[in-house]
């Protein structure tokens, strides 16, 4: 049993046990427990104080890097969203401009048709009164010359 305790204490504790060490099994178990959990019992003054130290699993720096990766991903996502919104506003502006151009074109066509309609109304009124309008005579003469 002496050999087993030597191996256990050498592998678990901070100091290696020599074959002649006089540690009890309880002390070795306590030492083993404190080494595995990272806690220590400190004797100060007239009593024992239990001090524990958390052992990190290496996630401290990786947690920061994961956090920075998340914030970088969030910034990239926000920037993509902003770019998409800018492009959407630009497309909408172009669409409205195109629609406005179409409306202006149709309004000009409507004005031209209204003027022509008013002119034909006047021609009809003059013809009904028995007069031949000059504009109609000129149009008939121009058509005769082209033939």
Task: Give a yes or no: residue 66 inside a domain.
Answer: no
Number of domains in the chain: 1
Task: Give a yes or no: residue 80 inside a domain.
Answer: no
Give the Cα separation of 87 and 81 in Å (integer). 10
pLDDT of residue 141: 85
Task: Give a yes or no: residue 17 inside a domain.
Answer: yes
Question: pLDDT digits over 61-110, tens only?
Answer: 555 667 788 899 999 999 999 999 999 999 999 999 999 999 999 999 99
Task: Give a yes or no: residue 143 inside a domain.
Answer: no
Domain span at residue 33? 2-52
Task: Give a yes or no: residue 121 inside a domain.
Answer: no
Question: pLDDT digits over 3-50, tens only?
Answer: 444 444 444 444 444 454 455 565 655 555 555 455 455 555 555 555
H helix runs in the chain, sequence order:
2-12, 25-37, 59-128, 134-146
Q: Is the pLDDT of residue 127 over 60?
A: yes
Task: Give a yes or no: residue 29 inside a domain.
Answer: yes
Give the Cα separation of 77 and 67 in Å (integer). 15
Task: Give a yes or no: residue 12 inside a domain.
Answer: yes
Q: Which residue has the tokens 């010359």?
A: 145
Whole-number CA gyration radius for the chain: 50
pLDDT of residue 61: 53
Nearest to 80 by CA among 91, 92, 72: 72
């Amino acid at each position: 049993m002496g050999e087993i305790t030597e191996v256990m204490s050498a592998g678990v504790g901070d100091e290696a046990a020599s074959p002649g060490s006089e540690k009890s099994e309880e002390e070795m178990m306590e030492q083993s427990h404190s080494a595995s959990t990272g806690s220590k019992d400190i004797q100060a003054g007239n009593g024992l104080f239990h001090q524990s130290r958390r052992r990190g699993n290496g996630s401290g720096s990786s947690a920061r890097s994961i956090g920075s990766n998340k914030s970088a991903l969030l910034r990239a996502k926000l920037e993509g969203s902003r770019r998409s919104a800018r492009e959407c506003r630009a497309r909408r502006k172009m669409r409205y401009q195109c629609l406005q151009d179409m409306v202006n074109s149709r309004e000009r066509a409507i004005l031209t048709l209204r003027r022509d309609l008013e002119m034909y109304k006047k021609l009809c009124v003059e013809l009904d009164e028995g007069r031949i309008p000059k504009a109609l005579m000129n149009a008939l003469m121009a058509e005769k010359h082209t033939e």
